[in-house]
Chains A and B, each alone.
Chain A
């Protein structure tokens, strides 16, 4: 009889509210009572308001307890019902209503145990891929309808086909793990909670396009994910998942882990490639597409973490299995990240098509402050602000685009009624001004002027004329920028003005100016 197991997450978010201290208390209590209990450090299930969420293995399944403090730990081993017992974790309504495909193992397994990964279905996709020709793998990914999960939603199969068809002495698979959008953490969770899934996806992509080298570009703001990935890559090499002969197939593939250095723009794929080449992260003009001339001028497919992490599922279950999730041209599942001022924030993985209202009200349970929800921003700092009147919009690429927004990387940030949309619009300009790579004039200078102009509106100076000026600036930004940073900064600004005009009028009568000037 093996030891009973107790699971405590080591995910950064769980650690941020004391998971490490809880784990230490568990270890001490197990020792004190001389119990035969194995402590497993997992990723997070993504029910963050319950973190640290501890799980005990029982005959009926894994029983959850949360959110725990070290003082709650001794009672876990008593016979009485624990005051913070939640019942079977998988039956918690928040989780039971989801369809965890990409995140099926996250928070469940030991992320650094390759055997545990395999026991839970890992490596099935790669084994299947090794039976297919590269062209058949590309075909499966194309058929599945998988679109880039980083924000742009570009069909993955087309990138793969292009890169594979371009003559070259080397090709690269690059994972964009520069998850810079506020309100998003799915990449981080996955890299910390199930890193072998990303590795497996990258290996399959490498085999499909004929690349021997992969690179993960990870943002430096994720030190925990960095340590986890570094260890997972070392284990993968030791176990033959990476190296000269992947799983004994004779095909070579390895992955290098690189760290960003605090530049939001490096999430843009061409800027990311410049950064990987050791340069300033300035965007490149397209064409040529990275799939034709990317890293060091070689054909390169650049994908977000979640896109690559979806690949093993597509290979293991078949393109049809994956396609069956979703709606219209938005196929598969979308990991939605619910954040900001929300009672129940975390990760929701479901097929596309859930409405904003279901996300914010049913899952989120309203605001953490208890005040009414006034706005949500979807898709990061370049995403639109949505008013309550549009909460019935279903979350899919096309429905969002029709209403002037974007799904982006799936971040949903909730604001209560104390939010001032004039200040949020100003922040959008300020953020873009700070993070602009400087290549395009509208982005480098226009955003600075934008922030100044909104300051004037907030001060009540010639409001109508200055709003017209902002509109003008937005047009120049949209039409005159090479990349999405300048091109999409108008989205949060204009949606704030369109849906919350009263904040720009009210601003006119207010005396004090908040926020600091840039420069």
Chain B
């Protein structure tokens, strides 16, 4: 992942210039920079011939399109029913205590962003979490913290 660069962002967005390609373009920005920088919005609007309000509306509708840079690690913890049945809420509470931040926030040292997801499709081996894109089953707080180097 690289730092924000309007030229690079334009390259990414251009590749998705097709009917209905807006979500793909925003995913492209997410992959390239880790977030959708609000500075990209006028350019994206221009490429897709939309208003800035329309693009902003799409960005804010979908949970994936975070608009600030994430921490060095991204932990997505499933908080849906199947994981609740095996104690994901306890895991979430312990993480909050240890990391000092709740759901959908980044630690003060920018090391970890914790996000809530509803279902990772690993419902028979919960609690489930994605750590930097890698899926883990039967997790507890200590094992997750270890993976985050804590």
- Asked if B111 is at the interface of the complex by the 8 Å CB criterion, the answer is no
Interface membership of chain B positions 111-150, coded 1 if the CB is closer than 8 angstroms to chain A and 0 otherwise: 0000001111111111010100111111000000000000
Residues of B within 8 A of A184 (CB): 119, 121, 123
Per-residue interface assignment for chain A, residues 323 to 367, with 1 indicating a CB less than 8 Å from any chain B CB and 0 otherwise: 000000000000001111110011000000000000000000000
**Among residues 7 to 38 in chain B, which have CB atoms less than 8 Å away from a CB atom of chain A?**
19-24, 26-27
A427 contacts which chain B residues (CB < 8 A)? Answer: 81, 84
Per-residue 0/1 for B71-91: is the Cβ within 8 Å of any A Cβ (1 yes, 0 no)? 000001010111111100100
How far, in whole Å, are A263 and B117 apart by their CA atoms in the complex? 10
Cross-chain contact A182 with B123 (CB below 8 angstroms)? yes
Contact B133 A223 (CB under 8 A): yes
CB distance from A429 to the nearest CB of B (A): 13
With contacts A222-B121, A341-B86 taken as known, whether A259 is within 8 angstroms of B24 at the C-beta atoms is yes
Q: Is the CB of B62 within 8 A of A185?
A: no
Q: How far is the CA of A278 from the CA of B49 in the complex (A)?
A: 12
Question: Counting CB contacts under 8 A, is B48 at the interface?
Answer: yes
Contact bitstring A487-498, B, C-beta under 8 A = 1, else 0: 000000000000
Contact between chains at B124 and A346 (CB < 8 Å): yes
8 Å CB contact of B119 from A181, A276, A377: A181
A16 CB–B CB distance under 8 Å: yes
Interface residue stretch chosen among A1-9, A114-122, A411-419, A460-468: A411-419
Residues of chain A within 8 A (CB-CB) of B26 are 261
Establish whether residues B23 and A261, one from each chain, have CB atoms under 8 Å apart when the complex forms: yes
Q: Which of A48, A182, A222, A264 has the most CB of B within 10 A?
A: A182
* Structural contact, B86 and A278, CB atoms closer than 8 A: no
* Contacts A16-B122, A339-B123, A424-B81; A261 near B65 (Cβ below 8 A): yes
Residue of B48, B57, B61, B84 with highest tally of chain A CB at under 10 A = B61
Residue on B nearest A179 in the bound complex, by CB = B121
Give every chain A residue within 8 A of B125 (Cβ-Cβ). 13, 16-17, 48-49, 51, 345
Contact B122 A183 (CB under 8 A): no
A151 within 8 A of B: no
Q: Which of B19, B23, B76, B118 contacts A264 (CB 8 A)?
A: B118
* Partner among A221, A264, A279 whose Cβ is within 8 Å of the Cβ of B121: A221
Partner of B21, one of A17, A262, A278: A278
CB distance from A81 to the nearest CB of B (A): 27
Contact of A280 among B24, B57, B118, B134 (CB under 8 A): B57
CB < 8 Å: which of B64, B83, B122 contacts A220? Answer: B64
Contact bitstring A273-292, B, C-beta under 8 A = 1, else 0 = 00111111110000000000
Cβ-neighbour of B48 out of A278, A346, A413, A435 (below 8 A): A278
Report the separation of the CA atoms of residues A16 and B76 in the bound assembly, to the nearest whole angstrom: 14
* A358 and B97 alpha carbons, distance in the complex (Å): 41
B58 at interface by CB-CB < 8 Å: yes
Q: In the complex the two chains form, what is the Cα distance from A341 to B121 in whole Å?
A: 15
With A48-B125, A280-B61, A296-B20: A340-B118 Cβ-Cβ less than 8 Å = no
Asked if A414 and B27 sit within 8 Å, CB to CB, the answer is no
Bound form: Cα–Cα A283–B94 in Å:
37
CB interface residues, A 188-227, toward B, < 8 Å: 188, 220-224
Across-interface contacts of B138 in A (CB, < 8 A): 17
Chain B contacts for A222, CB-based, 8 A: 120-121
Q: A276 to B125, alpha carbons, bound, how many Å? A: 31
B20 near A276 (CB under 8 angstroms)?
yes
Given contacts A48-B125, A279-B58, A280-B58, contact A15 B135 (CB under 8 A): yes
A279 CA / B134 CA spacing, docked (Å) = 29
For the complex, give the distance between the alpha carbons of A373 and B125 in Å.
17
Q: In whole angstroms, how far apart are the Cα atoms of A256 and B81 in the complex? A: 32
**Chain B, Cβ-Cβ closest to A347:** B124
Inter-chain contact A182/B135, CB cutoff 8 Å = no
Q: Does A43 have its Cβ within 8 Å of any Cβ on chain B?
A: no
| Contacts known (A280-B57, A341-B85, A415-B85); A182 close to B22, Cβ less than 8 A | no
Indicate if the CB atoms of B123 and A345 lie closer than 8 Å: yes
Tell me the minimal C-beta distance from B71 to chain A in angstroms: 18
- Interface: A155 (CB within 8 A): no
Q: Is A309 an interface residue (CB 8 A)?
A: no
Which residues does chain A contribute within 8 Å of B57, judged by CB atoms?
Answer: 280
Chain B minimum-CB-distance residue to A181:
B119
Q: Which chain A residue shows the least CB distance to B60?
A: A280
Q: In the complex, are the beta carbons of A413 and B85 less than 8 A apart?
A: yes
| Chain B residue with Cβ nearest A186 | B121
Structural contact, A182 and B82, CB atoms closer than 8 A: yes
CA distance in complex: A419, B86 (Å)? 10
Cross-chain contact of B64 among A261, A369, A516 (Cβ < 8 A): A261
**How close is B49's CB to chain A, nearest CB, in angstroms?**
11
Give the residues in chain A near B84, CB-CB below 8 Å.
424, 427
Known: A263-B61, A368-B86. A13 touches B23 (CB 8 A): no
Q: Which residue of A lies closest to B55 (CB)?
A: A278
A16 engages B27 (CB within 8 Å): no
Enumerate chain A residues within 8 angstroms of B135, measured Cβ to Cβ: 12-13, 15-16, 224
Q: Is the CB of A381 within 8 A of B81?
A: yes
CB <8 Å contact, B20 and A262: no
By the criterion CB–CB under 8 Å, are B123 and A183 in contact? Answer: yes
**Sample of 14 A–B contacts (CB below 8 Å):** A13-B125, A16-B137, A185-B124, A220-B27, A224-B135, A258-B24, A263-B61, A263-B63, A279-B22, A339-B85, A340-B81, A381-B80, A413-B82, A427-B84
Q: Which residues of A contact B (CB under 8 A)?
A: 12-13, 15-17, 48-49, 51, 179-185, 187-188, 220-224, 258-264, 275-282, 296, 337-342, 345-346, 368-369, 377, 381, 411, 413-416, 419, 424, 427, 431, 435, 437, 514, 516
For the complex of A and B, the 10 pairs showing the least CB-CB separation, nearest first, are A345-B124, A278-B22, A182-B80, A339-B123, A261-B62, A262-B63, A340-B85, A16-B137, A261-B64, A48-B124
Known: A13-B121, A183-B81, A278-B23. 16 other contacts (CB 8 A): A179-B121, A180-B119, A182-B81, A182-B118, A259-B23, A259-B24, A260-B23, A263-B61, A263-B63, A277-B19, A278-B22, A281-B62, A296-B19, A381-B81, A413-B123, A437-B61
